[in-house]
A and B are shown apart, each in its own frame.
Chain A
Amino acid sequence: MGDTLDMPPRDDAPLATSKDSAAVDVAGDALVEPRGDTLVGRAVTINRRRAELFAYWRDLTQLASFMENVERIDLLSAKQSHWVVKAPGGKTVEWTATITEERDGELIAWASDPGADVPNSGRVEFRDAGARGTVVTATILYDPPAGTIGKLIAKMFQREPAIQARRDLRRFKQLMETGEIAVGARNTRLQDEGKN
């Protein structure tokens, strides 16, 4: 932890669950690059080997297969990628992200480059969970467009990153465990793609 930050000694709960608003600054100092004021933490346990999950995730272009709001991910270099993401009202937002830290099989951290429509940073960690498989934990810091109002509007249209992160991890789990992503009779994703 950065010793310049004013936060009392903490418990062992993840920073993203802190009730102290200073947690965002601590996260931006110690955990991820400082790219916003909204901190989200999500974890999912996947009944697959760590190496397999990491390999799938590290091929960034594949992330669009389960990230519902991601329209397209273009690789610019080994570390840089360009993201086109759906936003409320039929619009899209874009940013370029750079991988800031990587440990094979364990961790990928990223941060958006200057000029991002939605500044964001984060880390995805992969940890062995014995017979249960692998725990995948995502910690994301972002700057909601148009602040709190923008966040509310995004939430209404279910384009809120905190909601999406939870759903995206669930879809990742489904894809990895079952080989497919569960769809009901009337699925918004399929409707959007004109398939339903």
Chain B
Amino acid sequence: MRALAWHGKHDVRVDTVDDPEILNPRDAIIKVTATAICGSDLHLYDGYIPTMQSGDILGHEFMGEVVETGPKSTLKKGQRVVVPFTIACGSCYHCGKHQYSACDNGLPADNQDIAQELYGQPMSGLFGYSHMTGGYSGGQAEYVRIPFSDVGPLVIPDGIEDEKVLFLSDILPTGWMAAENAQIEPGDTVAVWGCGPVGLFAVQSAFLMGAERVIAIDHFPHRLELAKRFGAETINFEESATYEALMLMTGGIGPDAVIDAVGLEAHGFFVDNVLDQIKKSTFLGTDRPHSIRQAIHACRKGGRVSMPAVYGGFVDKFPLGAFMEKGLTLKTGQTHVQHYMPALLNAILEGKIDTTFLISHTLGLEDAPKGYKMFHDNQNEVTKVVLKPGLALAAE
């Protein structure tokens, strides 16, 4: 089959590789009909993520048609499914509590050691995101092997375009959980740092959860424009002073809840953090924690901090004093995708949530390397690249 494989920094290629096979009883194989490049894929592209190997197939936002099933899979050939980016078993203690991203068994035992060292306990597996998260082949390919296919994939009814449901795989549930973690109360003002896909879905979700005002913060005019379309007020931090603006816009109180959707923009781990920790040599953080610092600084007393943004290692100068003195609450975590998918599918079917606005470019799988470069070089206009294996190569 054809698949987008990582070969090194800024070197991704569409290679001909072996088709995936059923390896375990609960596996299924799907034929990919649509997949997207995630902001966190750019960190693989930029070569920041350790434990990558040349030839690894990328992609963790994808959907397709079931073409093969293992004896314990509950899927049927021909079904259309969206696949959550978190690989979870559905049988362990955490899955029982719907904490799917904390699954005990999604990660092969050999791949659990690094996360154990780094975080104390390993998390679930992820598709197409280094060997630290399982070494699972990703979905920017013609075919993908889906472990635990009886638990993860969500069957999509006929007649709904891929574009409407594709983002159930990651960014829509991630934006939703971000808003949920902000514990929004009716009448709240919610500030969202970062108008990437997760931030924009958090804006939509916050309004659905009863927020009266949402203030979106970014520096890309096009992305702020999208936030505005959903009713958010905007702050361009290159034009205005963010903290001062927030204080004036909230009558000197500060936002009731703040959402940091910037972070590393990654589902991952900057190489320096990981190596630093493993070597236990230096505690110089390389995370860029500016947004979370500012969010804590601006948040009203007794307010809530939600952090969908991914941090992998340590941060310097975390404002613990402000956090304690103001009595804030922080909720965070990798998304429990499987938990949110069914309800969010209904919200899409009922027209309550729009996802298609995000797609700025659609390319064939063969054009994937071009898609990575476009997304990498122009984040203002390129908000989301969708790849379709069936689509012909674009004309030069």
Contacts and interface: CB of A to CB of B under 8 A. Distances in A.
Q: Do A and B come from one complex?
A: yes
B45 to A, nearest CB: 19
Contacts of B145: 185
Given A47-B91, A183-B23, A186-B53, A173 B104 contact: yes
Interface in A147-186: 158, 163, 166-168, 170-171, 173-174, 177-186
B112 interface: yes
B72 to A, nearest CB: 7
B109 A171 contact: yes
Contacts, number: 91
Interface string A18-47: 000000000000000000000000000101
B313 interface: no
Interface of A: 45, 47, 68, 132-133, 158, 163, 166-168, 170-171, 173-174, 177-190, 195-196
A159 to B, nearest CB: 12
B316 interface: no
A177 B108 contact: no
A177 B112 CA distance: 17
A167 to B, nearest CB: 4
Chain B contact residues: helix, strand, loop or mixed: loop
Given A178-B148, A179-B26, A184 B111 contact: yes
B65 interface: no
A186 B17 CA distance: 13
Give the interface residue-count category, chain B.
35 or more
A184 B72 CA distance: 18
B342 interface: no
- Among A132, A174, A177, A178, find the residue whose CB has the most chain B CB atoms closer than 10 A: A178
Interface in B83-116: 87, 89-93, 96, 104-113, 116
Interface string B204-230: 000000000000000000000000000
Contacts of A186: 53, 131, 135
B54 to A, nearest CB: 11
B25 A179 contact: yes
B136 A132 contact: no
